[in-house]
Amino acid sequence: MDEPTEKPRELAEEVEQGRSARTPALAISGVAMAIGGLFLVIGGIALAVYLLA
């Protein structure tokens, strides 16, 4: 398998520096992934409570 062209640490450094034109897209995608993960966890807990009640 080929190595990814950019490593996550390099992308994180790019977002922190804020010098790239794609920085807003990288930051927004990171926030969207965090919110999506939180939504999945809360949804899973709610489903478990519903099925067990």
Q: Which domain holds residue 13?
A: 8-52
Q: Which two tokens stand for residue 33?
A: 């992934």
Q: Which two tokens stand for residue 7?
A: 């490593």
Q: The whole model's pTM is what?
A: 0.64
pLDDT of residue 30: 86
Contact 29, 12 (CB under 8 A): no
d(CA 13, CA 19): 10
Q: Does 44 map to a domain?
A: yes
Q: Number of structural domains, the chain?
A: 1
Q: Does 46 map to a domain?
A: yes
pLDDT for residue 1 is more than 60: no
pLDDT of residue 6: 67
Q: Does 2 map to a domain?
A: no
Per-residue pLDDT tens for 2-48? 566 667 787 778 778 877 788 788 889 889 999 999 999 999 999 99
